Homo-oligomer: A and B are copies of this chain.
């Protein structure tokens, strides 16, 4: 992106003599809303904080951005530390939270990320987290509509309740116009698996025939992978066709969530 300063006359000399001055110093954190579907419930990975501030509170995993790495790299690093393996799912920037008093210790700007993953192994504790585990977002007081929470819901540390609310709304709306739902299921998956993702995220499952028609008619959303050999349900039933994620990223036209209409 940025060309070397040598291409710009006089700049190298300027930089050699440059001393930063007069700008307030900030710590910069990368915080993660890691979402997955567990037992049909949209769930988020939270850590129980062991140290002040907000000792004992639930918090989004995260950490400070280091010298020499971007916020995206920091987020990927945190994610790998938290889950114990290189992360291969979907990771995107959400937004940045910069209220002056959002951290009582000092001035910290938090660049928040959303990560979507198929059901992962149980997380292992890392950093200053006393423990880390999955929480169904409904257990935290988040509904499927607004992302706002009733008074009395479990309090999260810092402004993480707002961050998580924004993350949920981002995901709910991205299911409408992208193929992101497929990031929530392990491969290969069935159409019923994929439909359950929409049910968990939106709070209501789309009508099955219409859902099939939409997904199958969207070129490149999913790719058929053959029929499972011997994978009928526990109580019998026709074995489903299996699919993998396709190359398409966008849905045109979008699939609007039921309540929105």
How many chain A residues sit at the interface, stated as a range, is 35 or more
The reply to whether the CB of A98 lies closer than 8 angstroms to some CB of chain B is yes
Q: Does A69 lie at the interface of the complex (its beta carbon under 8 Å from any beta carbon of B)? A: yes
A23 near B64: Cβ-Cβ < 8 Å: yes
Whether A158 and B105, one on each chain, are in contact in the complex, defined by CB atoms closer than 8 angstroms, is no
Which of A23, A25, A68, A252 has most chain B Cβ within 10 Å?
A: A23
A219 to chain B, nearest CB (A): 14
A203 to chain B, nearest CB (A): 18
CA distance A81 to B51 in the complex (A): 42
Rounded to whole angstroms, the CA-CA distance of A140 and B8 in the bound complex is 20
Within the complex, what minimum Cβ distance (angstroms) separates A149 from chain B?
12
Q: Which residues of A contact B (CB under 8 A)?
A: 1-3, 5, 8, 10-11, 14-15, 18, 20, 23-28, 52-55, 57, 64-72, 93, 95-96, 98-107, 109, 111, 155, 158-159, 161-162, 252-254, 256, 260-261
